[in-house]
Amino acid sequence: MTLDDTHTTRHEQQEKQDHEKELQSEQRYVARLHAQLDSERAAAKARYDAALGDSGHSPMERDVEVRAQARAIARLDVADAGLCFGRLDAASGERSYIGRIGLLDEANDYESLLLDWRAPAARPFYVATAANPEGMRRRRQFHTRGREIVDFTDESLGHPSDDDTGDSALLAAVTAPRGDGMRDIVATIQAEQDEIIRLDHPGVLVIEGGPGTGKTVVALHRVAYLLYTQRERMERHGVLVVGPNPEFLQHIGRVLPSLGETDVVFTTTGDLVPGLHVTAEDAPDVARLKGSSTILDVLAAAIADRQQQPQDPIMIELADVTVRIDAGTAEWAIDEARASGLPHNEARAVFADIVTWVLTERAIARIGRGWLDRSDKQAWEDMRSDLSVELEEHERFTTALDELWPIMTPEELLAQLYTSEARLRAAGADSALWRADGHAWTVSDVPLLDELVDLLGRTGPVDDSAERELAAEADYAAGVLDVLVNREDHMDDEDHLFAQDMLYGSDLAGRFAERDTRDLAERAAADREWTYRHVVVDEAQELSEMDWRVLMRRCPGRSFTIVGDLAQRRSAAGATSWGEMLEPYVPGRWMYRSLTVNYRTPAEIMEVAASVLAEFAPGVAPPESVRASGSAPWARLVNGDESGLAVEEFVRDEALMEGTSVVIGPPDVPGAVLPSETKGLEFDAVLVVEPERILAEGPRGAAELYVALTRATQRLGVLHRAPLPEILSGLTDRTPLTR
């Protein structure tokens, strides 16, 4: 060994010792952070327990405090994993630790121990570069396991060197085996992502990006950022996240809770009407008809068609006279009811009032002929009152009103429309909307039913006096109970209870039964009229014009984060232009941002997928992959018998590997899922079966194949029974299956 070799070895040993000392120092600091976290969690738990047993405040005040402390505990619980993931060293020498939440040292003038990743002071951790250091000289990223720091990497800022390893954390994250759900990227947010997350825009933000660009997780982190910066405005109404299917929602469902945010409702467009169950699927042409805003004319005409004049006069036999509802009377009543501007069901009262007035006028004139003069207003009105009561209780009159102006639910109206060719013609609807089972609801029916809730209105009486009386009684009972609780706590010998203070057990039971103990997300999901402060829409290119009407009703403030990729649209009713879809609702109030870097799909796979993209969207540039996997995607020609064996081989081999895998193919391939069912999902390994059929079948087959090919983060295989499509020529040919 030469002197140079000895010097090098000593230098390496010294560097290793210095690194180990620094690692131990960082571990001690992070242990201090966890101790502070544990202390705050214990304090929150104590406040929670105290609120549960608090008798000095009203039940409502106790509920508010209990829920607030429960949320605080939940946020502290989720922060435990990866509490601190980095450090910033400023050029001035100041150090800042970055983590999931902010922690303060109460014993030391509330000194900042840990910066919340969303705080403005934490922004350089994500955007500082060697060329633009943002006043920083070093970024340190921790690699943790539980509460232990296993290693760290440093990146010099302002003075780049060949030893910098600043991308190692990102590469480790994107190459790591996939688990059961999407993970947050709070430790590895990139500069272009951070800009979008922190964007100060009060209206609609559209984030477009190809596969693997992280647009979904960026949108979710933006929600966490908005809840952090605008918590008071947003927390009481919550956030709605709309995704393409339940599998996707399950995949992303951990991200926001992992960031400490739970006041979020996750749903699909098919679940936007509470209690409705989607059981069928529309053909593409039918989905397009239902998704177009022109269907509004059909709905209005379908309602108008149920507001009828009798073909023959309807005779109503009263005690002293027989009256009739003729076409002229009904026409006048219909005109007045429509002119009221009320929804159909609520306008029935106007229709009934007009018909009742006409019938009582005619009856009075006949009954009082020769002895009752209109100048005797009191007698005339007394007789009208008696006759009105008789009509109201008359079965034939009620039946006539139901025939001429029926009270309908949205489901009744739409089901009867779909199953009647005559009603479809009367409403000016396309005959393609006819179906045998009117109640076999599809996703495309949901926005129509939601629209009809407003067009039809309430099915019950508009008079809410009974509801107001019950509310008043509940308020009175609450006040009395609070007085009783207070007296029991402070009663002395001279205190006594008055008779009017007493409440029966049924009163108390009723009062507490009326208290809603569900959390915000549960209450919001069950309430069709709930409005949200912010809405996230993923795979937004699939939403129709009618879908957007539903969502705009759910968010009157028009605060949206919209995520999508027009190139991946498969729905015939979906968006072809963001502007055309949004301008009617938020003219000039929407902003567009794009993500261009692919963090998921390795370059080898993206090269194959890019050929498919060029086939159906030649003007769209594919996102640029940040890495190569070293594993070439392959194709294998199989016959009918071999196909099943090849799928079994893939499943068997992948079971031995770490991570997740999926088989994607046409509907009749055993064990395969459809491309549309994997949108937004990611897997370590993907096997695409019979791509030639995916291309040939279904709407926008090339877009479907593009989705299927870009789900893989590591390995991609293709099985084909027909000749391999030309656009997949970049695949490596694999030897035939060995039996």
Annotated binding site for ATP: 209-216
User: What does the block give as tokens for 564?
Assistant: 């999508």
The H or E element that residue 268 is part of is strand 264-268
Task: Classify residue 317 by burial, with Cβ atoms within 10 Å: 0-12, 13-18, 19+.
Answer: exposed
SS3 per residue for 9-42: HHHHHHHHHHHHHHHHHHHHHHHHHHHHHHHHHH
C-alpha–C-alpha distance, residues 23 and 13, integer Å: 15
Cβ neighbours, 10 Å, residue 22: 13
Write the CB contacts of 87 (distance below 8 Å, at least 6 apart in sequence).
26, 95, 96, 97, 98, 139, 140, 142
Name 167's Cβ contacts closer than 8 Å, sequence gap at least 6: none
How far is residue 248's CA from residue 469's CA, in Å, rounded to a whole number?
A: 45
DSSP 8-state class, residue 165: -
Residue 234 dihedral angles phi and psi, to the nearest 5°: -100, -25
Beta-carbon contacts of residue 618 (< 8 Å; ≥ 6 apart) = none
Instruction: Tell me if 706 sits within 8 A of 568, measured CB to CB.
Output: yes
CB of 573 within 8 A of CB of 444? yes
496, containing H or E segment: none
Binding-site entries? 209-216
Backbone angles phi, psi at 467, to 5 degrees: -65, -40
Burial of 65 (0-12, 13-18, 19+ CB in 10 A): middle
What's the token pair of residue 227?
A: 């809840």
Residue from 564, 630, 474, 522 nearest 243 by CA:
564
DSSP secondary structure code for residue 673 in this structure: B
Helix (H) or strand (E) holding 92: none
Tokens of 102: 């902010």
Rounded to 10°, the helix 445-456/410-418 angle is: 120
The C-alpha atoms of residue 563 and residue 219 are separated, in whole angstroms, by 7
Distance CA 580, CA 548 (A): 12
Strands of 106-238 (E only): list them: 111-116, 136-145, 148-156, 204-209
> Rounded to whole angstroms, how far apart are CA atoms 179 and 31?
27
Nearest to 286 by CA among 455, 429, 416: 429
Q: Which among 626, 578, 576, 619 is positioned nearest to 601, based on CA atoms?
A: 626
Q: Which residue has the tokens 């149920």?
A: 306
How is the beta sheet containing 634-637 ordered, strand by strand?
A: 661-664, 683-689, 712-720, 634-637, 732-733
What gap in Å lies between CA 284 and CA 290, rounded to an integer?
A: 10
